[in-house]
Structure 1
Amino acid sequence: MSALRTLRTWGAACALAALLAACASVGTLAPGATREQVHSRWGEPRASYALPDGQRLFYRRKPGELQRLDFDAAGRLTAMEQVFTAARFRALAQGHWDAAEVQRSFGPPERRVAAGENQEEGGSVWVYSWLDFGTWRLARVRMNGAGAVQGVEFTDDPLADDRYR
């Protein structure tokens, strides 16, 4: 009886290990993964930017989220972060950001629109849409004509629908 119990336990452990390995290979990434491994699992990135010591790739894995992956000069994953959060967008209004820094941190905006009457000549608004605890939100990043962030406005996005994202 004891041998049968041991065999069942061992079989269950093997089945669980195989299931976890299958789940891990589908979407999770670990530090040290190569760009090629990421590409084979996640496909083409939404955007790519050179960093002083490597490369940054952006992937949209789920509607309303954007994953930022940083790779070192050898092409190994060093950091991964979901960048669309209210706190991260609020940080734009607290510092001195320019257009290049915004793109390297948040990826390209979903759309750019001409600035309103209160903006400097040549300014624009970069619009990012994300899912914030089940509510679709918009972050509208106001840029002046020189490409410097002037502020960030938040609104709900009543037109958003998961089927179209």
Structure 2
Amino acid sequence: MKDRYRILILLVIFIIMVYQLQRRGKEEYQKDSLLLKNNFKMEGIVDSFYVSNNHCFAVIYLNVFQSNVKYFNPKKENNYFPYAINDGKAEIYTQVCASQIDVGDSVLIDSNYRTVYFKTKSIGNHQGEINFVQGDIGYIKEKSKLFPENFIKK
């Protein structure tokens, strides 16, 4: 009988923990969404890119692009935005695999919708979500041409 109560209590504790984690994750997502809604838009052609072995994370370089912003430093306080612009060049930091993108493909970012659209020759059009950069800071520091000094591992 004691074991039944222990199992039941452990199950209830586990359910409460999962609920709390989900709630905190949702709150964090909503907070990030508010910060990312900064009216940033950019459209350009992929000049080159590097894809890491860590869940298809990429640093994408754009030399030909249009944006409603001329300069954007990705580091804002403790957050790293998924895009940067400096000296007529742009970078995007996002989840995309090497087989999903190629040089010459078009990329469109709309921060208000947290989306990145890829218009590709090889697999057609597809869409991804932009998020603050977190786990791939070291990779961006290695590959960034615009702001490598900003990306310091925490």
What TM-score bracket applies, with the shorter chain setting the length?
0.3 to 0.5
TM-score, normalization by structure 1? 0.35
TM-score, normalization by structure 2? 0.37
Higher CA-based Rg: 1
State the structure with bigger RCO (CA 8 A, min sep 6), 1 or 2.
2
